[in-house]
C-alpha cells in the first residue's frame, strides 16, 4: 500500500463539493411522470420532420464524424448574431467576433471565473435567489463569494445602493465578476435595464458584469441586451438553446461580449469544444427559415399556458395557493404554498412537493429555503395536458396535506436535502 491519501492530496475546496442533484434523483421518471421541475420546453425541440418533397435534407452529416468539428463555429455565430441584432438598444451591430459558444452556459460561467479571478484572492458578486451554478463554479475555482440579496418587494429587483456601495468599497478590486440572472431563476423576474446601466457606468470598479439571459425569449419581445455588448467593453450576455429552443439535450450556450473578452474565452476553450452534431442541430434551430418558426410557435403555446396557470392559481379556487412570488417573464412560475393558518410554510410546501411526485407523478421544484422564497414551489409551464393534470393534482394534494395528514418524522432532513438542489 502506497502513501496516497485522498483527503490530503486533493484540493480542500474540491473535497468540500457535493455532487449536482436534481429533483429527478428523488423521483425517477418511469415515462408516466409530468416533469415540471427543470424549466425544459415541454413542446420539444425547435426541429420539424421534413416532408417527402422537402429540400431540407439531413440535419446532421453523420458521414463527416470522422473529422474534427469546426473550432470557430462562424456560421453558427452569425446566425446567433442575426437573431439578436434588433437595433432596439443600439445602432451598432453584433458580429461573430462578439461571441463565444460553449457547452451550455455553464462553460462560459466557468471560463469567465478562470479568466478573471485569482484563486484564493478574488471574489464574485451574486444576488440570491439566483442560479446555483455561479456559486458552485466559484467554489470549484477557489474564488470567494459576496452575496447581496435581491429585494423581495415588489418583484425581486436589485438592491442597487448596496451593490454600488460594494463596488466602491476599499476591497472592491477583488470583486471581478457580477453575475445577474435576468429573467431570474427561480424568480422569473426581469431586472432593470437602468440598474445595469448604472453598474456598468461605475466610475472606479474594474470588473465584468455578466447577464444570464437563459429565459430571455419568454420575456417581452426586445428584452435581450445582447447587442448592448457593442457599447460596453465589460459586459457579457449569456444565452442558451436549452429553454425556449427546447434543445437542452445538445448543451449549447453562447456568450455575447466585447471582442477582446471573446478572444480570451476562445483562447481558453478546448480546441473542438462543440461537436459537429451539436453545431448542426443548433444552426437548424436558430435558422429563421427552419427551426426558428418552430420555436416561436412552441413559445406562444407556453406563454398561453403560463397565462392559464396565473389565472387558475390566482383565482382563489385552489385553497392553499398563495401569492405569485416572482415575475411572469420565464417558462416557470414561483408560487407560495400556504399552511392551514394561511401563511407561507416550508413544511407544507415540501409535503406538497413530495406528495405530488410520489402519489400523483407530477414533479415540480421546492425552493422554500432560498432567500425570500419561504413556502415556494417553482412550477415549469408544461403542455395544455400537463397543466391540466398539474392543477388537478395540486388541488387534491393541498386538500390532503392541509386536511391534517402530518409530514414524516424526518421532514427536516428532507427539506435540507431539497434545498441543496442546484438550478
Average per-residue pLDDT for the chain: 91
**Segment among 65-69, 81-85, 242-246 with least mean pLDDT:** 65-69
92 in a structural domain? yes
pLDDT, tens digit (0-9, with 9 covering 90-100), for 344-395: 999 999 999 999 999 999 999 999 999 999 999 999 999 999 999 999 999 9
Give residue 335's domain range. Answer: 11-40+293-419
Last residue of a domain, one of 287, 307, 326: 287
> Can you give the pLDDT at residue 128?
97
Contact 111, 177 (CB under 8 A): no
3-class DSSP assignment, residue 103: strand
pLDDT, tens digit (0-9, with 9 covering 90-100), for 200-230: 999 999 999 999 999 999 999 999 999 999 9
Please check whether residues 15 and 131 belong to one and the same domain.
no
221 in a structural domain? yes
CATH number at residue 399: 3.90.1150.10
Please check whether residues 309 and 260 belong to one and the same domain.
no
**Which residues are CB-contacts of 6 (< 8 A; sequence separation ≥ 6)?**
15
**Segment among 38-47, 120-129, 168-177, 401-410 with least mean pLDDT:** 401-410
> Can you give the pLDDT at residue 17?
79
3-class DSSP assignment, residue 386: helix
Q: For strand 321-324 and strand 332-337, is the pairing parallel, antiparallel, or unpaired? A: antiparallel
From the CB of residue 232, how many other CB atoms can be counted at a distance below 10 Å? Answer: 20
> Can you give the pLDDT at residue 407?
46
In angstroms, rounded to a whole number, what is the distance separating the alpha carbons of residues 122 and 304? 44
In angstroms, rounded to a whole number, what is the distance separating the alpha carbons of residues 177 and 145? 10
Last residue of a domain, one of 287, 318, 340: 287
In angstroms, rounded to a whole number, what is the distance separating the alpha carbons of residues 105 and 97? 18
Please check whether residues 234 and 328 belong to one and the same domain.
no
CATH number at residue 195: 3.40.640.10
Contact 404, 412 (CB under 8 A): no
| Residue 305: exposure state from Cβ atoms within 10 A (0-12, 13-18, ≥19) | buried
pLDDT, tens digit (0-9, with 9 covering 90-100), for 231-268: 999 999 999 999 999 999 999 999 999 999 999 999 99
353 in a structural domain? yes
Please check whether residues 246 and 102 belong to one and the same domain.
yes
Last residue of a domain, one of 265, 287, 309: 287
Q: For strand 362-363 and strand 34-35, is the pairing parallel, antiparallel, or unpaired? A: parallel
Count of the separate structural domains present in the chain: 2
In angstroms, rounded to a whole number, what is the distance separating the alpha carbons of residues 349 and 375? 5
In angstroms, rounded to a whole number, what is the distance separating the alpha carbons of residues 197 and 247? 31
Contact 266, 100 (CB under 8 A): yes
The stretches of 169-275 forming alpha helices (DSSP H) are: 193-200, 259-268
Per-residue confidence band for 412, with pLDDT thresholds at 50, 70 and 90: very low
Contact 212, 225 (CB under 8 A): no
Q: What are 220's three cell numbers?
A: 417581452
* Strand ranges across the sheet with 252-257: 99-103, 252-257, 235-240, 208-212, 175-181, 123-126, 144-147
Amino acid at each position: 500500500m502506497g502513501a496516497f491519501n485522498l483527503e490530503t492530496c486533493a484540493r480542500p475546496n474540491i473535497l468540500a463539493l457535493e455532487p449536482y442533484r436534481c429533483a429527478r434523483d428523488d423521483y425517477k421518471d418511469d415515462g408516466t411522470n409530468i416533469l415540471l421541475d427543470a424549466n425544459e420546453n415541454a413542446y420539444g425541440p425547435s426541429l420539424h420532420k421534413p416532408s417527402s418533397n422537402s429540400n431540407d435534407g439531413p440535419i446532421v452529416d453523420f458521414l463527416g464524424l470522422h473529422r474534427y468539428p469546426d473550432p470557430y463555429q462562424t456560421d453558427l455565430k452569425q446566425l446567433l448574431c442575426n437573431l439578436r441584432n434588433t437595433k432596439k438598444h443600439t445602432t451598432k451591430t453584433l458580429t461573430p467576433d462578439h461571441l463565444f459558444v460553449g457547452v451550455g452556459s455553464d462553460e462560459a460561467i466557468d471560463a469567465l471565473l478562470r479568466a478573471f479571478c485569482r484563486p484564493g484572492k478574488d471574489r464574485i458578486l451574486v444576488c440570491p435567489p439566483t442560479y446555483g451554478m455561479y456559486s458552485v463554479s466559484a467554489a470549484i475555482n477557489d474564488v470567494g463569494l459576496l452575496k447581496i440579496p435581491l429585494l423581495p418587494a415588489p418583484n425581486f429587483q436589485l438592491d442597487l445602493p448596496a451593490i454600488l456601495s460594494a463596488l466602491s468599497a476599499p476591497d472592491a478590486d477583488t470583486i471581478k465578476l457580477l453575475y445577474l440572472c435576468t429573467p431570474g431563476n427561480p424568480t422569473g423576474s426581469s431586472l432593470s435595464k437602468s440598474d445595469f446601466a448604472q453598474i456598468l457606468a461605475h466610475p472606479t470598479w474594474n470588473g465584468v458584469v455578466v447577464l444570464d439571459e437563459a429565459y430571455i425569449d419568454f420575456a417581452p419581445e426586445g428584452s435581450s441586451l445582447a447587442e448592448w455588448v457593442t457599447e460596453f467593453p465589460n459586459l457579457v450576455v449569456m444565452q442558451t438553446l436549452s429553454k425556449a429552443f427546447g434543445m437542452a439535450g445538445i448543451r449549447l450556450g453562447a456568450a455575447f461580449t466585447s471582442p477582446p473578452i471573446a478572444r480570451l474565452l476562445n483562447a481558453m476553450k478546448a480546441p473542438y469544444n462543440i461537436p459537429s452534431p451539436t453545431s448542426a442541430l443548433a444552426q437548424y434551430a436558430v435558422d429563421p427559415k427552419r427551426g426558428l418558426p418552430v420555436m416561436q410557435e412552441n413559445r406562444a403555446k407556453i406563454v398561453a399556458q403560463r397565462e392559464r396557470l396565473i389565472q387558475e392559481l390566482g383565482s382563489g379556487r385552489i385553497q392553499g395557493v398563495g401569492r405569485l412570488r416572482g415575475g411572469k417573464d420565464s417558462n416557470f412560475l414561483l408560487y407560495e404554498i400556504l399552511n392551514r393558518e394561511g401563511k407561507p410554510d416550508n413544511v407544507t410546501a415540501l409535503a406538497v412537493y413530495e406528495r405530488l411526485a410520489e402519489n400523483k407523478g407530477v414533479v415540480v421544484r421546492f425552493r422554500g429555503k432560498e432567500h425570500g422564497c419561504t413556502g415556494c414551489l417553482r412550477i415549469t409551464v408544461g403542455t395544455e395536458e400537463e397543466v391540466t393534470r398539474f392543477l388537478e393534482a395540486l388541488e387534491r394534494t393541498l386538500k390532503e396535506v392541509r386536511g391534517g395528514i402530518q409530514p414524516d418524522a424526518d421532514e427536516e432532513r428532507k427539506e435540507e436535502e431539497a434545498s441543496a438542489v442546484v438550478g
